[in-house]
Amino acid sequence: MEPTVEQRKHRRHSVNFQGVYSSGSVQVKEAIVLDLSLGGCRVASTTPMPPDTAIQLQIRPHQAAPIYVPSAVVRWATGYAFGVQFQELPEHESKALTRLLWSLPHSRQDSSSNPRSEA
């Protein structure tokens, strides 16, 4: 069996933010945004979303302004969690997301070369 090659371009940050999303077939639904990066995120919701579904997403970080992603695509789904790739992110939203990610503490999976670096 071939080893899995990491295809992500951006570092993921473990988060737990409120969010809302919608698509052509789904009205606004509440969600939890997880594993956030500049290129996408993992979302948990009570409504499963199939791969290749186009959605709009609003990320509502704690103590920061919401970030609106006008165009994203579901790339994978497992139960009530799904991975989203951002397709369009206006410049001001991209800057806000970059600032937010820089403000977050490093997650454990990002410090795999030295697991004790958070001590």
- Looking at residue 27, which CATH number applies to its domain? 2.40.10.220
Rounded distance between C-alpha atoms, residue 63 and residue 51, angstroms: 31
**pLDDT confidence of residue 48:** 86
| Rounded-to-10 torsion of CA 4, 17, 38, 89 | 130
Is residue 12 in a domain? no
Q: Are strands 81-88 and 67-78 parallel, antiparallel or unpaired?
A: antiparallel
Is residue 10 in a domain? no
**pLDDT confidence of residue 108:** 45
Is residue 41 in a domain? yes
**pLDDT confidence of residue 10:** 59
**Residue 15: burial class (beta carbons within 10 Å; 0-12, 13-18, 19+):** buried
pLDDT along the chain (119 residues), means of 10: 51 90 90 95 94 96 94 96 96 95 68 37
Is residue 2 in a domain? no
How many distinct structural domains can be found in the chain? Answer: 1
**pLDDT confidence of residue 49:** 93
**pLDDT confidence of residue 13:** 82
Domain extent, residue 38, equals 17-99
Is residue 113 in a domain? no
